[in-house]
Structure 1
Amino acid sequence: MRVSDQIPAPARTNSEALLRWVLKADALVTGANGIAYLALAGVLTDVLGYRVSVQHAVGAFLVVFAIAVGVIATRPVAGRAAVRTVIAVNVAWVLLSVVVLGAGAVEATTLGRVWMAAQAAVVAAFAAIQAYALKPR
């Protein structure tokens, strides 16, 4: 691994500090969302309309992804390839959310559809900030 492919732990530039911050925020928000889907699936079904099985599957994925992002964010050296993977997964989440919403592929209440769109917007913002902060300056 080349030095240019690494982001040193002690943030030496504003973009490195921003990247670490947005990765940590992504991990926290994603983890909280995943835990909510796992722990509150019955309650959220009434509110959002998503099936419990969908919430459990999505919640498990989100918890695992949040742990991975948290590890990347707190490593002494965060590899650029790992951060690019986080960005790619976030972009895939946004695109899949748009497809699911457009196709009506998941049963949802109006609030559930609004929630799905809001999640996609937040994840898109995370991906955009991560990509911006990763750019070499």
Structure 2
Amino acid sequence: MTILSTPTATGTRSALGRIRLWFGADALVTGANALAYLVAAGPITDLLGGDAGTVRTIGAALVGYTLLVALYTRSRLAPGPGWAIVAANAVWVVASLEVALTGALGLDGPGRVWAVAQALVVADLAVLQARALRAR
């Protein structure tokens, strides 16, 4: 027997809590990466390859993205912007895998591994964000 139910106020609050959780986690992780890329571009390129200027540019772009995601997390959580963030995360995943596979940006072996690891984390966040948005 299947019991169908409609969302309750508690269920809606729970879904909103999950949305805030996963988008907030995205802002924290992205912000940490952005800060590292801006502050430690030299040591990062020594470890991963690539160009310090490119790493700083990516860090600056990630600061902007972090602010947008953080603002969304503090907003009324309209679904449209949430889905746009999920889509942007999917683009990041594809781009990261392309960089890892093609060697674009001059990454060394460890840099390619880092690009794949980032892709996996961002893909997981995007899936969790999408699930939370659908549950709303």
| TM-score, length-scaled by structure 2 | 0.87
Corresponding residue for residue 70 of structure 2: 70
Corresponding residue for residue 78 of structure 2: 79
Corresponding residue for residue 98 of structure 1: 97
Deviation at 1:136, TM superposition (A): 4.1
1:23 has 2:26 as partner: no
Corresponding residue for residue 52 of structure 2: 52
| 1:41-66 deviation per Cα after TM superposition (whole angstroms, max 9, x unaligned) | 01111111121121011101111100
Deviation at 1:30, TM superposition (A): 0.1
Give the letter aligned to residue 24 of structure 1: G
| 1:105-130 deviation per Cα after TM superposition (whole angstroms, max 9, x unaligned) | 12112211111111110000010000
Mark the CA change 1:100 to 1:28 in structure 2 (over 3 Å): closer, same or farther.
Answer: same
Higher strand share: 1
Corresponding residue for residue 6 of structure 1: none
1:124 has 2:107 as partner: no
CA distance in 2, matches of 1:62, 1:128: 20
Deviates more, 1:90-99 or 1:106-115: 106-115
**Alignment RMSD, CA only?**
1.6
Identity of aligned residues (%): 38
CA distance in 2, matches of 1:73, 1:89: 15
CA distance in 2, matches of 1:49, 1:133: 36
Give the letter aligned to residue 88 of structure 1: A
Give 1 or 2 for the bigger CA radius of gyration: 2
| TM-score, length-scaled by structure 1 | 0.87
Higher helix share: 2
Deviation at 1:16, TM superposition (A): 1.7
Question: Which 5+ residue runs of structure 2 have no aligned equivalent?
Answer: 1-9
